[in-house]
Amino acid sequence: MNGNVIDGKAVAAKIREETAAKVAELKAKYGKVPGLAVVIVGERKDSQTYVRMKKKACEEVGIASFGADLPESATQAEVLAVVAAFNANPDVHGILVQLPLPKHIDEQAVLGAISVEKDVDGFHPLNIGRLAMKGREPLFTPCTPLGCMVLLERCGIPIKGRRAVVVGRSNIVGMPAALLLNKRDATVTVVHSATPKAEAEAICRQADIIIAAAGQAQLVRGSWVKPGAAIIDVGTNPIDDKTKASGYRLVGDAHFDECKAVAGAITPVPGGVGPMTIAILLRNTAESGERFLTGAVKVSGAEKKQERKGLAKLLPTREQLASPLPVLAAAVGVAAGAVLQRATAGRR
């Protein structure tokens, strides 16, 4: 912390360091490293940037990175075939499909096809279900919400028995953040687009912890904050700023200056939650690699069989995987622009 500002970069650097140590340990013990496959479809500049950042981050901690770049015109069958190949690839322990996908691709079908054992994003309904359930643990917890929790914990902010408010209920941040906070014994309220704004403000003012994940620039004002509360700001919204060469700057879902004046702790944007997302992705991948390498995948017997045996039928054989590209091309007619690449070193 710098004053009451939480240094997300520093916490993320620590997580990456711990992850690098874990990867080195696995390499020494098993002669193998965890592997992450990132699937991207289409040419969105922001998605390309995120994927590049993820691959670079993998290299830095020693995780093998695998990639599939599919053109905007890729069919759903092509995307599913790529996922199936990574499901079956024993060197891949985590699979991430960069969202959003082009409109003609069924996102649910693609995410649902990722083996739950390699779902490092934690978005599979089986993982979300386990996250919601008492006495169950998901194999993976979504990276951004888990990053929020790790920030709270590493900054010594108590959670158990405290009032927490999650602003926003997206599948990738708000909803799993609420489930996580509840699992750690906070008393959680979720406010959202159907909550009258005055009520959202009143509820936030009762909270010891606010997770702002509404995707609205500076929604949470100073007047919303109880003195001493912790604010974890997940938003990154561009707003006009003529003092910048780009003409804009990024702000969070909380009004930083106003909230900082009242809060006990607050994450900045950028440099707060952002760096945590990738750090947790790396940690999730390393944990997955460890589970596979030690043979200790923690899925209940029956569910695991449902998953495993189900996938076995969808997948190419191990021999086919020795040369993935021709097989995929033959199986689904992958377009010429689609490139399956292995990139442990060097940039894409």
Q: Which residues bind a copy of itself (CB under 8 A)?
A: 80, 106, 108-110, 112-113, 124-136, 160-161, 163, 169-171, 175, 179, 182, 185-192, 194-196, 199-200, 203, 300-303, 305-314
Of the two residues 59 and 107, which places its CB atom closer to a copy of itself in the complex? 107
Candidate list 22, 69, 98, 208, residue with the active-site label: 98
Does a cis peptide bond (omega within 30 degrees of 0) precede residue 270?
Answer: yes
Residue 8 contacts residue 272 (beta carbons within 8 Å): yes
Q: What does the angle CA 274 – CA 279 – CA 284 come to, to the nearest 5 degrees?
A: 125
Candidate list 7, 69, 119, 121, residue with the active-site label = 121
> Do residues 89 and 342 touch, judged by C-beta distance below 8 A?
no
Shorter beta-carbon distance to a copy of itself: residue 83 or 269: 83
Shortest distance (Å) from residue 94 CB to a copy of itself: 18
Closest CB 216 distance from a copy of itself, rounded Å: 16
Asked if 120 and 288 count as a contact pair (C-beta separation under 8 A), the reply is yes
Q: Is residue 233 a contact partner of residue 276, using CB atoms and an 8 Å limit?
A: no
**Closest distance between a copy of itself and the C-beta of residue 104, in Å?**
15
User: Catalytic residue at 121?
Assistant: yes
> Cα–Cα distance between 326 and 278 in angstroms, integer?
32
The catalytically annotated residue of 54, 55, 183, 260 is: 54
Q: How far apart are CA 85 and CA 332, in angstroms?
A: 12
Phi, psi of 36 (to 5 degrees): -120, 130
Indicate the residue among 290 and 307 with the shorter CB distance to a copy of itself.
307
Please say which residue, 58 or 177, places its beta carbon nearer to a copy of itself: 177
Q: How far is CA 65 from CA 88, 101, 204, 327, in A?
A: 16, 20, 41, 21
12 or 220, CB closer to a copy of itself? 220
Q: Are 278 and 121 in contact (CB under 8 A)?
A: no
- Please say which residue, 179 or 251, places its beta carbon nearer to a copy of itself: 179
Complex with a copy of itself: residue 6 or 173, whichever CB lies closer: 173
Q: How far is the CB of 300 from a copy of itself (least distance, A)?
A: 5
Closest separation in Å from C-beta 110 to a copy of itself: 8
Cα separation, 207 vs 267, whole angstroms: 16
Report, in Å, the least distance between residue 156 CB and a copy of itself. 19
Q: 305 catalytic, yes or no?
A: no
Cα separations (Å) of 14 from 8, 61, 127, 150, 276? Answer: 10, 12, 26, 11, 10
Q: Kindly state the smallest distance separating residue 43's Cβ from a copy of itself, in Å.
A: 25
Exposure letters 208-229 (e unless 16+ CB within 10 A, then b)? bbbbbbbbebbbbeeebbbeeb
98 given a catalytic annotation: yes
Contacts of 24 (CB under 8 A, 6+ apart): 62
Q: Which residues contact 48 (CB under 8 A, 6 or more apart)?
A: 40
Helix (H, G, I), strand (E, B) or coil at 336: coil
Active-site residue numbers? 54, 98, 121
